[in-house]
Amino acid sequence: MPLVEAVANYHCITGENPLWNAAEGRIYWVDIETGRLFRADPASGAHECFYQGELVGGFTFQQDSSLLLFESDRIAALSAGGARRVLREGIDAAMSRFNDVIADPEGRVFAGTIGRTGENGALFRIDRDGAITLLWRGTGCANGMGFTPDLRGFYWTCSTTRRIFFADYDANTGSLRDRRLWYQAPDSEGTPDGMSVDAAGDVWTTRWDGHAMYRLSPTAQRLERIELPVAKVSSVTFGGPNLEDAYITTAGGTGTAEGGREGTLYRIAGLSRGQPEQLSQILL
Protein backbone atom coordinates (compact mmCIF):
# COMPACT_ATOMS: atom_id res chain seq x y z
CA MET A 1 0.00 0.00 0.00
CA PRO A 2 1.54 3.37 -0.97
CA LEU A 3 2.44 5.74 1.85
CA VAL A 4 0.02 8.69 1.95
CA GLU A 5 1.68 11.74 3.54
CA ALA A 6 0.02 14.96 4.66
CA VAL A 7 1.74 17.98 3.08
CA ALA A 8 -0.40 20.81 4.49
CA ASN A 9 -3.79 21.03 6.18
CA TYR A 10 -5.70 24.29 5.79
CA HIS A 11 -9.05 22.53 6.36
CA CYS A 12 -10.12 23.44 2.83
CA ILE A 13 -13.85 23.45 2.23
CA THR A 14 -13.16 22.37 -1.35
CA GLY A 15 -9.45 21.86 -1.86
CA GLU A 16 -8.91 21.59 -5.62
CA ASN A 17 -6.76 22.19 -8.71
CA PRO A 18 -3.34 20.94 -7.52
CA LEU A 19 -0.79 22.21 -10.03
CA TRP A 20 2.97 21.71 -10.07
CA ASN A 21 5.06 24.78 -10.85
CA ALA A 22 8.21 23.29 -12.39
CA ALA A 23 10.03 26.63 -12.58
CA GLU A 24 9.64 27.15 -8.82
CA GLY A 25 9.64 23.54 -7.67
CA ARG A 26 6.44 24.16 -5.72
CA ILE A 27 2.94 22.71 -5.65
CA TYR A 28 -0.03 25.10 -5.80
CA TRP A 29 -3.68 24.46 -4.96
CA VAL A 30 -6.91 26.33 -4.15
CA ASP A 31 -9.80 26.30 -1.68
CA ILE A 32 -12.66 27.17 -4.02
CA GLU A 33 -15.27 28.72 -1.73
CA THR A 34 -12.88 30.82 0.35
CA GLY A 35 -10.86 32.02 -2.65
CA ARG A 36 -7.62 31.02 -0.95
CA LEU A 37 -4.57 30.02 -2.98
CA PHE A 38 -1.78 27.99 -1.42
CA ARG A 39 1.70 26.79 -2.33
CA ALA A 40 4.16 24.42 -0.73
CA ASP A 41 7.86 23.77 -1.23
CA PRO A 42 8.55 20.03 -0.84
CA ALA A 43 12.29 20.64 -0.50
CA SER A 44 11.95 22.77 2.63
CA GLY A 45 8.52 21.70 3.87
CA ALA A 46 7.39 25.35 3.94
CA HIS A 47 3.86 26.20 2.83
CA GLU A 48 1.63 29.26 2.84
CA CYS A 49 -1.66 30.83 1.87
CA PHE A 50 -0.40 33.56 -0.46
CA TYR A 51 -3.70 35.00 -1.73
CA GLN A 52 -7.33 35.31 -0.69
CA GLY A 53 -10.00 36.99 -2.76
CA GLU A 54 -13.01 36.11 -4.89
CA LEU A 55 -14.14 32.50 -5.20
CA VAL A 56 -11.73 30.61 -7.51
CA GLY A 57 -13.07 27.53 -9.31
CA GLY A 58 -9.73 26.76 -10.96
CA PHE A 59 -6.54 28.35 -12.26
CA THR A 60 -3.69 27.91 -14.70
CA PHE A 61 -0.13 29.20 -14.82
CA GLN A 62 0.35 31.75 -17.55
CA GLN A 63 3.54 31.89 -19.62
CA ASP A 64 4.29 35.35 -18.14
CA SER A 65 4.31 33.86 -14.59
CA SER A 66 0.90 35.26 -13.66
CA LEU A 67 -2.02 33.04 -12.63
CA LEU A 68 -5.22 32.92 -14.65
CA LEU A 69 -8.13 32.69 -12.20
CA PHE A 70 -11.50 31.24 -13.20
CA GLU A 71 -14.02 32.63 -10.74
CA SER A 72 -17.83 32.99 -10.71
CA ASP A 73 -18.60 33.82 -14.36
CA ARG A 74 -15.38 35.85 -14.44
CA ILE A 75 -11.78 35.40 -15.56
CA ALA A 76 -9.03 37.38 -13.81
CA ALA A 77 -5.24 37.54 -13.86
CA LEU A 78 -3.17 37.50 -10.67
CA SER A 79 0.29 38.95 -11.22
CA ALA A 80 3.42 37.57 -9.60
CA GLY A 81 3.31 40.63 -7.34
CA GLY A 82 -0.22 39.86 -6.15
CA ALA A 83 -2.25 42.37 -8.20
CA ARG A 84 -5.56 41.03 -9.52
CA ARG A 85 -7.05 42.32 -12.80
CA VAL A 86 -10.44 41.28 -14.20
CA LEU A 87 -10.10 40.21 -17.84
CA ARG A 88 -13.60 39.06 -18.78
CA GLU A 89 -16.96 38.68 -17.03
CA GLY A 90 -20.55 37.92 -17.93
CA ILE A 91 -19.44 34.87 -19.90
CA ASP A 92 -22.39 32.54 -19.29
CA ALA A 93 -25.51 33.41 -17.28
CA ALA A 94 -26.29 29.70 -16.96
CA MET A 95 -23.24 28.98 -14.81
CA SER A 96 -23.05 29.02 -11.05
CA ARG A 97 -19.24 29.16 -11.29
CA PHE A 98 -16.26 27.82 -13.14
CA ASN A 99 -14.94 24.48 -11.95
CA ASP A 100 -12.06 22.39 -13.31
CA VAL A 101 -9.74 23.97 -15.93
CA ILE A 102 -6.72 22.79 -17.93
CA ALA A 103 -4.28 24.43 -20.36
CA ASP A 104 -3.40 22.71 -23.62
CA PRO A 105 -0.01 22.61 -25.41
CA GLU A 106 -0.89 25.66 -27.53
CA GLY A 107 -1.73 27.84 -24.53
CA ARG A 108 -5.52 27.59 -24.78
CA VAL A 109 -7.63 26.75 -21.73
CA PHE A 110 -10.50 24.27 -21.48
CA ALA A 111 -12.79 25.39 -18.66
CA GLY A 112 -15.73 23.53 -17.20
CA THR A 113 -18.61 25.03 -15.26
CA ILE A 114 -21.18 24.09 -12.65
CA GLY A 115 -24.63 25.00 -13.93
CA ARG A 116 -27.38 26.81 -12.11
CA THR A 117 -29.50 23.75 -12.90
CA GLY A 118 -28.60 20.10 -13.38
CA GLU A 119 -28.22 20.51 -17.14
CA ASN A 120 -26.74 23.99 -17.62
CA GLY A 121 -23.13 23.19 -16.82
CA ALA A 122 -20.80 23.33 -19.82
CA LEU A 123 -17.32 23.07 -21.23
CA PHE A 124 -15.75 26.13 -22.86
CA ARG A 125 -12.51 26.68 -24.76
CA ILE A 126 -10.68 29.97 -24.29
CA ASP A 127 -8.33 30.66 -27.19
CA ARG A 128 -5.12 32.63 -26.91
CA ASP A 129 -6.74 35.75 -28.33
CA GLY A 130 -9.46 35.57 -25.65
CA ALA A 131 -12.19 34.18 -27.90
CA ILE A 132 -14.51 31.90 -25.92
CA THR A 133 -16.22 28.92 -27.58
CA LEU A 134 -18.96 26.77 -26.05
CA LEU A 135 -18.00 23.16 -26.77
CA TRP A 136 -20.92 21.41 -25.12
CA ARG A 137 -23.57 21.82 -22.46
CA GLY A 138 -25.72 19.38 -20.50
CA THR A 139 -24.07 18.60 -17.17
CA GLY A 140 -24.63 19.74 -13.64
CA CYS A 141 -20.93 19.66 -12.85
CA ALA A 142 -18.13 19.58 -15.45
CA ASN A 143 -15.01 18.18 -13.84
CA GLY A 144 -11.56 16.60 -14.33
CA MET A 145 -9.81 16.68 -17.71
CA GLY A 146 -6.61 15.36 -19.23
CA PHE A 147 -4.75 14.78 -22.50
CA THR A 148 -3.32 11.51 -23.77
CA PRO A 149 0.50 11.48 -24.05
CA ASP A 150 0.31 11.53 -27.87
CA LEU A 151 -1.96 14.62 -27.67
CA ARG A 152 -4.63 12.99 -29.80
CA GLY A 153 -7.18 12.33 -27.10
CA PHE A 154 -8.97 14.28 -24.37
CA TYR A 155 -10.71 13.01 -21.23
CA TRP A 156 -13.56 14.91 -19.59
CA THR A 157 -15.49 14.07 -16.44
CA CYS A 158 -19.22 14.58 -15.90
CA SER A 159 -19.63 14.25 -12.15
CA THR A 160 -23.42 14.47 -12.44
CA THR A 161 -23.67 11.15 -14.28
CA ARG A 162 -20.48 9.59 -12.80
CA ARG A 163 -19.13 9.27 -16.33
CA ILE A 164 -15.76 9.95 -17.92
CA PHE A 165 -15.87 10.72 -21.63
CA PHE A 166 -13.18 10.58 -24.31
CA ALA A 167 -12.95 12.80 -27.41
CA ASP A 168 -10.55 13.13 -30.32
CA TYR A 169 -8.41 16.22 -29.84
CA ASP A 170 -6.70 18.34 -32.52
CA ALA A 171 -3.84 20.36 -31.03
CA ASN A 172 -3.66 22.61 -34.10
CA THR A 173 -7.23 23.87 -33.81
CA GLY A 174 -8.24 22.94 -30.25
CA SER A 175 -11.28 21.09 -31.57
CA LEU A 176 -12.85 18.11 -29.79
CA ARG A 177 -14.67 15.55 -31.93
CA ASP A 178 -16.63 12.35 -31.44
CA ARG A 179 -17.15 12.52 -27.70
CA ARG A 180 -18.03 9.05 -26.39
CA LEU A 181 -18.44 7.30 -23.05
CA TRP A 182 -15.14 5.91 -21.77
CA TYR A 183 -15.88 4.90 -18.16
CA GLN A 184 -19.04 4.63 -16.08
CA ALA A 185 -18.24 4.67 -12.37
CA PRO A 186 -20.49 2.49 -10.22
CA ASP A 187 -22.17 4.09 -7.22
CA SER A 188 -19.90 2.10 -4.92
CA GLU A 189 -16.83 4.05 -6.10
CA GLY A 190 -18.13 7.51 -5.23
CA THR A 191 -18.35 10.41 -7.68
CA PRO A 192 -15.55 10.89 -10.26
CA ASP A 193 -13.90 14.27 -9.69
CA GLY A 194 -10.46 15.53 -10.76
CA MET A 195 -7.93 13.54 -12.75
CA SER A 196 -4.43 13.38 -14.18
CA VAL A 197 -3.08 11.33 -17.08
CA ASP A 198 0.43 9.96 -16.56
CA ALA A 199 3.23 9.54 -19.09
CA ALA A 200 2.21 5.92 -19.76
CA GLY A 201 -1.35 6.99 -20.58
CA ASP A 202 -2.98 5.66 -17.40
CA VAL A 203 -5.75 7.82 -15.94
CA TRP A 204 -5.64 8.66 -12.23
CA THR A 205 -9.15 9.72 -11.20
CA THR A 206 -10.27 10.81 -7.73
CA ARG A 207 -13.55 10.03 -5.99
CA TRP A 208 -15.67 12.53 -4.08
CA ASP A 209 -17.31 10.67 -1.19
CA GLY A 210 -15.27 7.61 -2.16
CA HIS A 211 -12.18 7.78 0.10
CA ALA A 212 -10.06 6.87 -2.92
CA MET A 213 -8.22 7.46 -6.15
CA TYR A 214 -8.29 4.94 -9.00
CA ARG A 215 -5.81 4.14 -11.74
CA LEU A 216 -7.47 3.16 -15.01
CA SER A 217 -5.73 1.85 -18.12
CA PRO A 218 -6.15 3.57 -21.52
CA THR A 219 -8.77 0.90 -22.24
CA ALA A 220 -10.68 1.86 -19.06
CA GLN A 221 -9.66 -1.22 -17.06
CA ARG A 222 -9.43 -0.63 -13.32
CA LEU A 223 -5.82 -1.29 -12.33
CA GLU A 224 -5.50 0.05 -8.80
CA ARG A 225 -7.41 1.63 -5.94
CA ILE A 226 -5.57 3.83 -3.46
CA GLU A 227 -7.28 4.56 -0.15
CA LEU A 228 -7.19 8.10 1.26
CA PRO A 229 -7.91 8.94 4.92
CA VAL A 230 -10.83 11.28 4.07
CA ALA A 231 -13.99 10.82 2.05
CA LYS A 232 -13.96 13.78 -0.32
CA VAL A 233 -10.97 13.21 -2.61
CA SER A 234 -11.15 16.00 -5.17
CA SER A 235 -8.18 16.08 -7.56
CA VAL A 236 -4.65 14.91 -8.34
CA THR A 237 -1.56 16.03 -10.23
CA PHE A 238 2.03 14.84 -10.51
CA GLY A 239 4.99 16.89 -9.33
CA GLY A 240 8.46 16.71 -7.87
CA PRO A 241 11.79 16.84 -9.73
CA ASN A 242 10.90 13.85 -11.93
CA LEU A 243 7.11 14.28 -11.84
CA GLU A 244 6.86 11.02 -9.90
CA ASP A 245 5.00 12.26 -6.82
CA ALA A 246 1.20 12.44 -6.73
CA TYR A 247 -0.32 15.47 -4.99
CA ILE A 248 -3.94 14.95 -4.00
CA THR A 249 -6.41 17.56 -2.77
CA THR A 250 -9.31 16.80 -0.46
CA ALA A 251 -12.37 18.66 0.79
CA GLY A 252 -14.91 18.90 3.58
CA GLY A 253 -12.76 20.93 5.93
CA THR A 254 -14.49 21.76 9.18
CA GLY A 255 -11.74 20.68 11.53
CA THR A 256 -13.94 18.06 13.18
CA ALA A 257 -15.63 15.81 10.61
CA GLU A 258 -12.84 13.28 10.11
CA GLY A 259 -10.47 13.90 12.94
CA GLY A 260 -9.35 17.19 11.43
CA ARG A 261 -7.82 15.49 8.37
CA GLU A 262 -10.38 16.70 5.84
CA GLY A 263 -9.27 19.46 3.46
CA THR A 264 -5.63 18.32 3.56
CA LEU A 265 -3.22 18.25 0.62
CA TYR A 266 -1.62 14.77 0.47
CA ARG A 267 1.41 13.39 -1.32
CA ILE A 268 2.30 9.87 -2.45
CA ALA A 269 5.97 9.73 -3.43
CA GLY A 270 7.17 7.66 -6.38
CA LEU A 271 3.69 6.65 -7.49
CA SER A 272 4.02 7.14 -11.25
CA ARG A 273 5.65 9.48 -13.76
CA GLY A 274 3.34 12.29 -14.78
CA GLN A 275 3.24 14.60 -17.77
CA PRO A 276 4.46 18.21 -17.57
CA GLU A 277 1.75 20.78 -16.93
CA GLN A 278 1.05 23.13 -19.84
CA LEU A 279 1.15 26.92 -19.52
CA SER A 280 -1.77 29.05 -20.67
CA GLN A 281 -1.09 31.99 -22.97
CA ILE A 282 -4.37 33.89 -22.90
CA LEU A 283 -3.89 37.47 -24.10
CA LEU A 284 -6.66 39.70 -22.76
Mean pLDDT of 249-273: 85
Percent of the chain residues past pLDDT 90, beyond the cut:
94
Catalytic residue among 193, 198, 202, 245: 193
Can you give the pLDDT at residue 257? 56
Cβ-count burial 175-187 (b if 16+ within 10 Å, e if not): ebeeeeebbebee
The long-range contacts involving 81-90, CB below 8 angstroms and separated by at least 24 positions, are: 82/50, 82/51, 84/53, 87/130, 87/282, 87/284, 88/130, 88/132, 88/284
Q: At residue 258, does pLDDT exceed 90? A: no
Can you give the pLDDT at residue 126? 98
Higher local confidence (pLDDT), 1 or 37 = 37
Mean pLDDT of 30-35: 97
Q: At residue 259, does pLDDT exceed 70? A: no
Q: At residue 34, does pLDDT exceed 70? A: yes
For 71-86, write each residue's pLDDT tens digit.
999 999 999 999 999 9
Q: At residue 173, does pLDDT exceed 60? A: yes
Can you give the pLDDT at residue 256? 55
Distance CA 179, CA 268 (A): 32
Mean pLDDT of the chain: 96
Q: At residue 255, does pLDDT exceed 60? A: no
Of 204, 186, 194, 283, nearest to 243 (Cα)?
204
Question: Domain 5-268 carries which CATH code?
Answer: 2.120.10.30
Mean pLDDT of 83-90: 96
Can you give the pLDDT at residue 260? 77
Can you give the pLDDT at residue 114? 98
129 is catalytic: no
